[in-house]
Amino acid sequence: MSFKNEYLAGQTYEKFLATTGDHAPLWHVVTRRTEIAAGIADRVRALGGQWHLLVLTEDWCGDAVNSLPVIARLAASLENVDLRILSRDAYPTLMDTHLSPSGARAIPVVMMLDEHFKERAWWGSRPRALQAWIDSQGAGLAKQDRYREVRRWYVTDRGVSTALEIADLIIAAASQPLVQRSTREAPVGAAA
């Protein structure tokens, strides 16, 4: 199945950023501070071919505000990767084919599409290490305390885990038909 129409209907990161409303200051700060660690982009660049990242998200999502600027910066640093963003709530059928392992409509979801706009892999909704912490130590915390620790984790990680997982998934997708990535299991072909 081709996702070309959905991809073409998506917003660029810059247009999405302009529509973030009440959350704009946070989005702009995280975007401004985001850098991609040396070497990560080179691994994807070496693959060749064209990759399209199609993201389902909403501007109110804390995981999205910490992950999407990293993913957008990674895509912008690569000649063979581009990115478009769709509203999760405007595409419920597409979202329902990318649910979290618990069945939640967790965002962001990043679909890796090949040059023919065929889905080859997907990632969502947060880095594996963070999800593992949430499922273990974080599960016992009050919601407010858990969110504070999640924000601290993202600041400390500086987007490295997200960039590595997205790069690893594109690399794995380049050699396999469909690679599913959930936060509860390692993606096929990626380092655990």
pLDDT single digits (tens) 88-124 = 999 999 999 999 888 899 999 999 999 999 999 999 9
CB 53 within 8 A of CB 111: yes
pLDDT of residue 189: 36
159: helix, strand or coil:
coil
Q: What is the mean pLDDT of the chain?
A: 90
What are the CA-CA distances from residue 43 to residues 47, 59, 166 (Å)?
7, 29, 11
- Of 130, 183, 137, 147, residue with least CA distance to 62: 147
DSSP designation for 112: E
Instruction: Give residue 164's Cα distance to chain centre.
Output: 11
Cα dihedral: 88, 93, 94, 96 (round 10): 80
pLDDT of residue 49: 85
**What pTM was computed for the model?**
0.89
Q: Rounded to whole angstroms, how far apart are CA atoms 17 and 59?
A: 9
Mean pLDDT within 13-28: 95
pLDDT of residue 186: 38
- φ, ψ dihedrals at 95, nearest 5°: -60, -40
CB 141 within 8 A of CB 149: yes
Mean pLDDT within 30-42: 92
Instruction: Give residue 56's Cα distance to chain centre.
Output: 9
Residue 189, Ramachandran bin (φ over 0: left; ψ between -120 and 50: alpha; else beta): left
pLDDT single digits (tens) 134-164 = 999 999 999 999 999 999 999 999 999 999 9
Structural domains of the chain, with CATH: 4-126+158-180 (3.40.30.10)
78: helix, strand or coil:
coil
pLDDT single digits (tens) 65-75 = 999 999 999 99
Sign of CA dihedral 185, 65, 8, 82: negative
Beta strands in 29-188 (DSSP E): 51-57, 81-87, 109-113, 119-124, 179-180
